[in-house]
Amino acid sequence: MTIRKRKLGKSGLEVSAIGLGCMGLSYGYGPATEKKQAVALIRGAVERGVTFFDTAEVYGPFANEELVGEALAPFRDQIVIATKFGFDIGPNGEQRGLDSRPQHIREVAEASLKRLGTDRIDLFYQHRVDPDVPIEDVAGAVKALIEEGKVGHFGLSEAGVQTIRRAHAVQPVTALQSEYSMFTRDPEERVLPVLEELGIGFVPFSPLGRGFLTGKIGESTKFAEGDIRNRLPRFAEEARQANRHLVALIGEIATRKQATPAQVALAWLLAQKPWIVPIPGTTKLDRLQENIGGADVALNATDLRELDDVLAKVPVQGARYNEQMMKTVDR
């Protein structure tokens, strides 16, 4: 099976139009997936044409990189692995804040290379902007790693426009990874125009609104212990009730297109710009197959206008993060 390819901006880095976000296999949405099943899922993605895989040292922590490295070892030269630095992780795996000091970036790169079992990180993102370290120093540290062949491309995550410009001036940024979907449209006004201007690709995480846009989450849905959605205002019961209208419309368009709501949500993102590559996550092979099918759903101008009209009339209710989490987002 082949999926269409896309280039992340002007960098020349070519990946499948839909990637796989691997975080949820180890972290964030309840208990970790059993290892054998997780390896089978990642390898199943490769067999279905996915070439872009996203992980980070903090997922687990560390367990997700090891899993991704093991699962992708047989296909290493056919695929692109993205991982991230930027957190200070304590001896027991606790997050102790941010740390993007150049020396720490190098330490994380070396440790990630070992866990991934590879000699290069294809795309190395700063996971969150560190207000205590000038972004020029961060970009310079990644530039040195690129010159040594340990890193292929530099990325930023949840960065604001000034940070993007300043980083890009030191070392061209290949991709920005931030939350973007019909459920979270924050990047549209300021960030997307800057990415277009500078030739930077965009990798939306949570492109299915953390599952909400699939139509499978109702007001009474209960999330597992340890699932981050228990802490997000947008997943409070009243917010879920208020946001049902959007899911209902996506469902109508999906029926018309003989597709699923998840496929319409991904097709909407792909229709926004040719350099956007969403990375939905899943733990199930049938969902993976469904998500990949989103690349084959063509939304016409009428479909897109209909969705935009509803989004404009009835804004999504509830903040995407709680106050503590918002502090790490660079604006």
Residue 214 is part of which domain span? 5-326
Residue 170 located in a structural domain: yes
In a domain, 152, yes or no: yes
pLDDT in tens, 18-27: 999 999 999 9
72 lies in some domain: yes
Cβ(302)–Cβ(253) below 8 Å: no
State pLDDT tens for residues 5-18. 999 999 999 999 99
Answer whether residue 56 is part of any domain.
yes
Q: Give the active site residue among 27, 29, 59, 321.
A: 59
Domain assignment present for 18:
yes
pLDDT at 2: 82
Annotated catalytic residue 321 = no
What pLDDT sits at residue 288?
98
User: What are the DSSP calls for 202-240, one per residue?
Assistant: EEEESTTTTTGGGT---TT--PPTTBGGGG-GGGSHHHH
- What pLDDT is attached to residue 82? 99
**Cα–Cα dist 273/128, whole Å:** 24
Residue 1: per-residue pLDDT: 67
Query: Do residues 284 and 298 make contact, with C-beta atoms less than 8 angstroms apart?
Result: no
Angle at which helices 301-313 and 244-257 pack, to 10 degrees? 170
Angle at the Cα of 269 from the Cα atoms of 263 and 270, rounded to 5 degrees: 85
Mean pLDDT of the chain: 96
Q: Per-residue pLDDT for 203 more than 80?
A: yes
Structural domain contains residue 239: yes
Q: What is the pLDDT of residue 275?
A: 98
State the CATH number of the domain containing residue 239: 3.20.20.100
pLDDT at 23: 98
Assign 331 a pLDDT band (cuts: 50, 70, 90).
confident
Task: Indicate the number of domains in the chain.
Answer: 1
Reported as a single tens digit per residue, the pLDDT across 104-155 is 999 999 999 999 999 999 999 999 999 999 999 999 999 999 999 999 999 9
Question: Looking at the domain assignment, is residue 331 inside a domain?
Answer: no
pLDDT digits (tens, 9 = 90+) for 221-245: 999 999 999 999 999 999 999 999 8
154 falls within a domain: yes
Using the predicted structure, report yes or no on whether residue 32 has a pLDDT greater than 70.
Answer: yes
Tens of pLDDT, residue by residue over 300-329, are: 999 999 999 888 887 899 999 999 999 899
